[in-house]
Structures are given as C-alpha cells and as structure tokens.
Structure 1
C-alpha cells in the first residue's frame, strides 16, 4: 500500500473531546458538535506522528507471492512435529493424524503450497480468535474472512491502475497464471494435489461445473452473470487437464481477474452439489440444488482457511480447514488459529460493549458507529485493544440509497414512473444535506459525495472532488424548481402530490442491526420531508429488508458504499436487478414483471452506462482506462441511478492486543480479506 494512503489514514484518529449523543437524531434541527474538522485533524495528526513514521518507513511487510523468506524467524508453532515431514501442522490436526482420522500433512497439501510471508513474524498455533456478527443473516462478515481466490487483488492499488492486465496481481489458490499478448486469453494453472476440506480433489472439473452446469444452465440461471460476457458474447472456459483453466474472451478482457476476485470460482464442489443437479442425479430438482448451495452450511466443502461448523444460539464457528493450501515461510500449515468465532452481537451498540468487555479480538465490519468512538477510545486499556484506521473503502465507510426500479405493486406506478426520470433523482439527491450528515454522524471525517469514489483510488484525480459532488450540493431552491417543472404540485402544507393528486410517498428501508444506516436514513427522511416528499423511515431487520427488495415491495433502502476504490468492484448498479439475484444482471427488462411495469421499460440512460462499463472491461491501456473511468464517474453523478451520500469515512478496526500479525494499515476493500487473517495468531 502506498505511503500516500497511509498518510491519509493517519489523519483520522479520534479525539476524546466531544462525545456524540444519538438522541440528537430525533429532531431535524440537531445540536452541532463544537469540535471543528480542523481541530479534529490537528489532534489526530499529533496523536499519530509515530505511527505515520512507521507506516512510511520500514513498516509492515505485506504477504508476498510464492517466495519463501531468506530466513524464517526462530519461533515456530508448538513443537509441531518430530517426523520426516517437510511441513508442520496444528496440534489438533496432529492428534487426528496420530489417531488415524486424517492423512499426514504432506498428503493434505498441494505439491506446491502457497507460501504466505507473515506480516510481522511466524506465529504460534492458537485455539480460537474472536470476531463478531450481528445475527445469522449477517453472512458477509465471516464470508470476507475466508475470501481467498485463484488470483488476489494487488495490495498496491496504484499498481492495479497503472499495469493492466497484470497490475500486481498475485496467485493464491492458483499456482500461476498467464495472459496472451492482447488479453483475449487467460490461463490459470491450479495447484496440483489441492483438495476440498473433505479431502476430495479440487480440479478444473469443479470450476467447469460452476461455469456450465450452474451459470450457463438456463434452468438454474435464466441469464448468466454479466461478467461472463464481453461485447455481449460469452466467455468460453476450456479445461485441457485437471489443473488448467483456459478462459477465452471474444474481446480483450484485462479486468477479468478483478470481476472474479475472491473465492467466486472456487465455491462449487462438483462432487458435493451434483447429487442435487438434475443433469447428474435422476429425480433431482433445481430447487434442491439452490437450497443446498450454501457455503456456510456445516457439511459444505470449501478451500478456504476455515470451514463453517454452523450456527447455534451463540453464533457461528469456523474451524480450520485441514486441507488448506497455504503455509508460512517456516513450513507451518495455515491458518494459525483452530477456530474463528463469530458470536452474535445483535446491534452495533452491543458490539461496542462486547469490545470493552474484552470479548472481541478483531472487529471490523459493522464497527462504524462513530458516536461510540469516544467510548471505545477511553476504554482501550480496560478492553485490552487498540483502534486502527484504514482507508475508507469497505462496507460501512460510507452510504448510499438504492432505488428499486422493479416495483411490483401497481399502487406504486407513479413513483416507478418518476424514479425513471433523471431530474427527479437529481432533485432527491440535492435535497440531502450531506455536510450535516458528515458533521453529525462522522465528526466531519468523511467526504460528501453524490458518487462515492474513494480518494485513495488509483483513478482519483484532483478534480474528482467537484465531479463527485455533481447534483450533490444541498440546494432546496433548485429542488423546488425541478419538482415544479415535473408537475409535482405543492400543497398549502408544503407537501408534493403526483399528477393524480396522490401524495409523493417514498419509503426508505434501513436495517435495524446497522445503527449508522438508520441514523443516516433518518436524516435523509427529514430532509426529503422538508422538500415536500412524504418520506418515511422503515427500520426493519436486514433479512426482512432484502425480502422486501426481492419481492419488489421496497421503494428504496440505505446501504454502504463498499469497495469504492475500484468501480468495477461494484460494477452493475441495481437498475435491472432480477428478483432474487444480487450484483450480476443484464440491461434487460424481465417478462415476468407486471404488464404495467414492462410498459414503463427500463430507466433512461441505463443502456449507455452498461455500454461504458463494457468498454472499461475491455480496455488494456491504463491511460485510456483511467479516462474511461472518469467518464463513468461523470455518468454516475449525472444520472444517479442510486444516490450516494458520504465517502471516505475511515474504516475503524478494533484489534485486541493479544492478536499478532494484524497490519497497522491494510486495504479494506473486502474487510479483512487483504490483511491475510489466516496468519493472525494469539500471542502466548
């Protein structure tokens, strides 16, 4: 990670001066904090001078590619073996080997394991490390911990932006990869001898099963994911042998590894899932396949550092994968910790109490409750932890409003029509007082933005501040003018009505478990009501929120702006989201929608956005790629298919002092994934 990014993070350490009271949110006119942003900066800079020098000097080593260190530290895990093995293993696995319940470690590892250089030192094997999750529906928290893929995103994002198609990418689950000259073919060489967590071979057949029998099986996936296409033509996968994947593209596709980062291509064990696939098992049905394709189920094989052992009344337990493919520089099979525990916190407030009580070893996702920062800072010694601040690029380091363009209830017809109007969306954006949100909820540490590109992005330019605030300035006079032009009549009470005479009602859903989302949503609702919109906050559980969304009942919902350093991380905005699907979609309107909605068609401008994204996917020249990215940013802030609010909020990371090998600064794109949690350990 560049020193520039480390300097940026050093600015955002919390002072203890002015605690924030959540009760201030209950009224539109809120008590302003008396600490200024300048004072905030001065205090934080003074507090972090030492860490800044360390960050820009020798600093933390980043895990390297498959190269052993010249000399490993003397300490090694727990006298792991008196045997002829060239590798060491955790005591719990050694006991299983001795009991005849598990093959020796040499037989469990691939021929050439992935070698991870520890952040600070070779650690010791430990029993359990503790995170937290809000509830059983918060599956992303444990998901990102185990998000290892064939090819890892580079830790140096500047290198990514300047060096397509390779751009500093490193193999992880893959042994190596190579491109042809014009980026129309990518060959991934898998690790020979690598296995799923149940001991079955992990081969190219598993990836081909995902590609052909799931994504390109029209009965299972009516429309294959957009990232499987370039120029509207499908990517072809060939598997010449058990350990070779050849992806052939109809046009240059240098961004392919980015769109398939993480565990995406290594998630479908054919030997396990084929028992529910009609192609392979008589009497099987696709609904059974869907029901059993759940990676956090305890019987689901994986290739990640830890494997789920399921949920109980206390939370989720992940247990070390005995067949995980990586070792440290001393030959110790990773991960260091036997278990990664995710006890239920319920809410962000409860997570703070757990941290103070010393019950969290590593807290990152859903720790972004800035009103609790003074309390957390004051209790660092009591809770035996420290607070770190990483680049604001993760799930809870900003927020945006997602608009539902597939409302299914005909009573929402007029709202659906107006959601398709660019000027209406622009007015909704300009009615939000982003400065007030930033100062009230984030101590002024974030950056107001109508499109939340992180300033640490390799695609950031000096003029981006103004670009990302297009249609984002708080301007009620302009909002009134737009609403008048659209024919939304203002009543004597100041509230607007549709041409039919019905009130302009917008319901904004927010997850009750994520307090900061509710707080932002409450402020947005108050602003929209001031603009004459009958806006209503609907605070509901996360699981209910997404159920409403998939059913086409939700008008809008508040969410985070995760992974906003690289736009392709979240490439397909939810304009045409298929019911029941997530990020991958095509710019088409589905014929299972109500007839009245089909008549409305997709929102204007969507097709052009997808075309521009397709050009970015194909562009191999880094200079032209950056230019196209800027055009995409401008397009987003102009058309505002969704409405971003705050960006660049520093990612708060809570780390217990007993945890070893946690970096002081890391890329927070996918929470802890790129801090390499497999090499965390508990100090003895």
Structure 2
C-alpha cells in the first residue's frame, strides 16, 4: 500500500515537481517567530474532508491531545521531530480554526520541511475527529479499549474514512486490491477553474510477485506503475514491448547513493552478543576501509547490473539539493570516490596493521587471541540485488582472510535484529534528498530504531533513555549530532548545506559507516500512451520527497 499512499501524497507543505524547493500545500503559508523557536501554520480556509465535513484545528487537537500525547494509546506517539533537544515535547497552540503553532526551546527551522516528508509524517496527524471519536473511549463510553479505533484508523483500507486527498477509498478486498474515487470536496482547481482531480477512479491491484507484475506490464494491463517494475535490468524488455503493449517507458532516477551497500552496525549490542571485540572491530574505521578496498565493484556492476550502474562509495542521492552548487557537487564527488579502489593488497595491509595478523590452518584470520573470527552478513530474502551481490562480497572478503557467513533473513527477522542491534553487517539500499527531514543516513538520529548504522542510539533517543545507548561525549556520533543540532537551528538554507558538507567530511575522514558498491541507476516508469501529464523527470528511491505525489497526480489525465 505504500506505493498507493505515495500517489496520494498531499501534505501541508510539499516538495515541488523538480525537487528544488518546498512549497505550500494544505497550508497557504508558514511563519517563524522568536528567532525560529515558534512555527505558525496557516491552513487554507474552507478545507473539507471527503464527506463534506469542515477540516479545522479541532482535528489536529484530536491528533495531539487524544492520540499522540495520550499515555493510554501508544500506537500514535509524538513524532520524532516534536521533541526539544533536551527530550521534552514542543508546546502546541490551537490559535483558531485554521491556525496552529509549535513552540520549541531552541530554533527548529526544519519543521515545515519535515511535514513534507513522504506520506507518513502528515498521515499520522490527519485524523478526522468527527468520524474517529465514535471509536475513542474518551468520547464513547461503550468503547472499553482502543481495539476498534485502531482497526478503523486506516484510511487506505476503510471506505468510511474521510480524507483530504484527491481520492478516497470506496472498496477494499484483502489480498486482491482496492478502489478509490475522486473526492468531491477536494480543494484544488486547475488554471482554467476546473476542479481536480481529472481522473475519477483508481483501481489498485495487489501483485506481490515482481515477475508477474513485469508480465502484466508488458501486456499493457496497467495504465500506470511507478515502482511496480523498478528493476533497471528489465528496461530493455520493457522498451522492446512498448508498441505491442501500447505504453511508453519513462526513465526516472532511482536516486541511489548505494544500491547495494553494506550497513556496518556502529552500536553492536555487547550486552546481548557478549562480544566487545566485534563491537570495537566494527567501529574501527580501518577495518571498514579494508572491507571496502576488498570489494570488486566492477564485478558487482557487471554481474548484478550488466554494467549500467555507477561504481561509488555510499552517499545520499546525487540529485539532493544539498549538492546543487559547484562546491556541493565537488564534495559529493569526493565522498563517492572515497575508498572505492579495488585493492586487496591495501585491504590486507590495513587488517594486519589493526592486529588481525594471525591465521588459522585454513588461512582465515583469527582474533588476536587465536579464536575464530567470523563476519555475518545479513541479506534480506527475495531481494535480487542483495542475493546476487552477497556471494561476491563473501568471495572478496574471504580472499583477504575474513571468514564470511551469508545470513538470509526475512523482513521480520531483519527488523528484530536491528531493534536489538545484534546484526554486524547488512545489505542495504541508500538514497535521500534532504537530510534535515530524514537525517539518519548521515546523522545518528531519526525515526526508526531498527535500521541504519546507529540503531541503539536512535532507540535511546525515541524512548527517552529507557532503552538503547546514549551518545558518548567526544565520539564521532557526538560530533555529528553537534552539527545536526546547529543545522536545525540555522535559518539560512545555504549555511545549512554547509553543515551537511561538514557532516560529509566526517563520513569521509572517519568512515565509511555504510560501504557503498554501486549507485546511479535509472528507475523505469511504465504508463499507457494515453496517460498524460506524467513528467519526464522524477526520483523514486528516496520516499521522503513524495514521488510520484509531488508531480501532481491529480492532474494526470487520459487523452481521448
């Protein structure tokens, strides 16, 4: 359902079509006061839910007071961005029916942009009080718990649920699909005064098998699919069948700074693993560089991508607005080029220098005390790119004496190992366009304590210190967070970009923390020939930018 929710992307603040700026959406404007400590949002007057009921700040009050800060209901919690640096919550003021303000103890210039992030930030706040209160124990004494509320609070599955999007749910069949129809109270019109959306009805199919999706796409069974056939290796076949399928292939960008990459756990949990040596090894930059130098990236590119990818170190998306200037492009390129040389000899030298100079009878390196040293690489099942890359990595790392085990895991196991911070190395895909709204590829903070390179630090932050581990003063993580906190307190966009460059410099000097292999792949979009207004440029990898929703799907149409 994530792909459908990205099409519906319609938050208070939104990305523009070419990813160069944030623009008003449901709000007509926002203002900062008190040197950036207070942000006031002015929503458009006359907004209505899809059932015709007025949208007001009472709906946001319901979200904040009855859900997010309700200790009895933990499904929706205060968002990660709602905390002051000291961990306390922002103050929320409901000024009138269309105006709300958030006040912090320190400047938070990034808050409007966070609300533009993907579908998830605004979706968790978009709560129609007039509908949902009937299932809330505070407003209905017959509700003894929140079970029914939680079941009903899924707009994409619930035909009764009023929304502010261009389309609303009218039918849902588990495991098969769903149907959405135009919202008669949608607030947008085109320049000629026609109410949007142009398309009256969207029918969504649930097809989990990528090969089945590919077959259906080349048969011309889809009017549009944006991530349904995203594997770039399928582009030649998709192009070959364009005429017979009566469709066209538009090559958008994946925006990948590492596809694939290897995330190296910097908060390896010694309490659970009883292995302090492994934690220190994973945190040793020379060890990580040895792993990077040992990788035959050309081999990966040839085998996995048929040579169409770009060999590079882990970065965020090249298309990110942080790197749009000549100086920004220069530092991005330096980042992408760091430690990517295929040099097993140098890798061996680095391992010897850090004390891994003993070997067992099979030629594998041991720990300094002579005991077995084994690297475990977690590989998500069902991911072609990961499963084809992992054996190459195993071969490359064992060639420099590092015994490597490929640990194939399903999604639930991967999440659990992340939550407990017990994985060592993990196959991953990295892309991001704005680190101030989705920081966790570069900074040890964010929303998900199961992912990236610092899962236990993030867990400590989101649980207010109840779980996880704190950042140690003077550490690399401390330096990165110091930059992050300065950045969110900086009103000037160009100066904020400079803070990003400072953080990238730490990643170059102290990294890599995630080891990139290839990136820069295209992402095929397939649309019927009569399906129009889809732009030639888009970025699909980093979901935070809202694609394809940022390209105004409410203005897609069928040409007669």
TM-score, length of structure 2 as denominator length: 0.81
Provide closer, same or farther for how the CA distance between residues 411 and 171 of structure 1 changes in structure 2, counting only shifts above 3 A.
same
* 1:616 lines up with 2:484 in the alignment: no
Verify: 1:494 aligned to 2:357, yes or no.
no
Instruction: Please report how far the alpha carbon of residue 151 of structure 1 lies from its aligned counterpart in structure 2 after TM superposition.
Output: 1.1
CA 1:353–1:497: 2 relative to 1, 3 Å: farther
* Cα drift, residue 370 of structure 1: 2.5
Contact 1:456 1:565 in 2 (8 A): yes
Partners of 1:498 and 1:345 in 2: how far apart?
Answer: 47
1:257 has 2:112 as partner = yes
Partner of 2:157: 297
Matched, 1:649 2:527: no
Give 5+ residue unaligned stretches, structure 2: 324-328
Unaligned residue ranges in structure 1 (runs of 5+): 1-138, 161-168
Tell me which of 511, 519, 528 is aligned to 1:639: 511
- The within-5 A match list for 1:423-442 is 423-442=286-305
Instruction: Find the aligned partners of 1:275 and 1:530 in 2 and give their Cα distance.
Output: 64
Confirm whether residue 677 of structure 1 aligns to residue 553 of structure 2.
Answer: yes
Which whole-Å deviations, capped at 9, do the CAs of 1:421-466 have from their partners, x for residues lacking one? 4443333333333343334433544333333233333322224212
State the 1:149 CA deviation: 0.4
Q: Distance in 2 between the 1:601 and 1:249 partners?
A: 25
Query: What is the Cα deviation at residue 357 of structure 1?
Result: 0.9
Deviations 1:5-63 (A, max 9, x none): xxxxxxxxxxxxxxxxxxxxxxxxxxxxxxxxxxxxxxxxxxxxxxxxxxxxxxxxxxx
Q: Is contact 1:421-1:603 (8 Å) kept? A: no
Secondary structure of 1:195's aligned partner: coil
**1:246: Cα distance to partner?**
1.7
1-side partners of 2:528 and 2:418: how far apart? 37
Any idea what the Cα deviations from partners look like across 1:286-310, whole Å, max 9, x if unmatched?
Answer: 6776565444332444322233443
Paired residues of 1:453 and 1:647 also in contact (CA < 8 A): no
Matches within 5 A, 1:464-475: 464-475=332-343
Contact kept, 8 Å, 2:167 with 2:183, in 1: the verdict is yes
Matched with 1:155 is 17
| Alignment-derived partner of residue 25 in structure 2 | 172
Q: Distance in 2 between matches of 1:373 and 1:242?
A: 50
TM-aligned CA deviation for residue 171 of structure 1: 1.6
1:667/1:502 CA distance change after superposition, 3 Å: closer
Cα deviation, residue 676, structure 1? 1.4
Aligned residues between the structures: 531
Alignment-derived partner of residue 247 in structure 1:
102
Given candidates 286, 311, 315, the residue that maps to 1:452 is 315
Between the aligned partners of 1:577 and 1:235, the Cα distance in structure 2 is: 17
The correspondence of residues 278-427 of structure 1 with structure 2, limited to 5 A, is 284-285=144-145, 293-298=153-158, 299-308=160-169, 309-393=171-255, 398-404=259-265, 405=267, 407=269, 409-410=272-273, 414-427=277-290
- In 2: Cα distance, 1:600 partner to 1:172 partner: 37
Partner of 2:129 in structure 1?
Answer: 270
* Structure 1 position 565, deviation (Å): 2.8
Cα distance in 2 for residues equivalent to 1:195 and 1:581: 37
Task: Tell me the SS of whatever aligns to 2:251.
Answer: strand
- CA shift, 1:411, in A, is 6.1
- Partner residue, 1:115: none
In the TM superposition, what are the counterparts of 1:204-215 in structure 2 within 5 Å? Answer: 204-215=57-68
Deviations along 1:522-549, one digit per CA (max 9) or x if unpaired, are 4334433434344344445545543554
- The alignment partner of 1:390 has SS state of strand
What TM-score comes out, normalization by structure 1 length? 0.68
Q: Is the 8 A contact 2:219 2:245 kept in 1?
A: yes
SS of the equivalent of 1:462 reads helix
1: CA distance, partners of 2:166 / 2:35: 35
**Whole-Å Cα distance in 2 between the matches of residues 255 and 209 of structure 1?**
24
In structure 2, distance between residues paired with 1:636 and 1:599: 20
* Structure 2 residue aligned with 1:482: 350
Q: 1: CA distance between counterparts of 2:126 and 2:450?
A: 17
2:375 corresponds to 1:505: yes
Q: Deviations over 1:571-606 (max 9, x none)?
A: 12495788877799476496665xxx8699899522
1:403–1:556 Cα contact (<8 Å) kept:
yes
Contact (CA 8 Å) 1:347, 1:515: kept in 2 or not?
no
How many Å separate the matches in 1 of 2:268 and 2:155?
29
Distance change in 2, residues 1:253/1:553 (3 Å): closer
Deviations 1:465-500 (A, max 9, x none): 123332343332333233334444432433334457
Shift of 1:552: 5.1
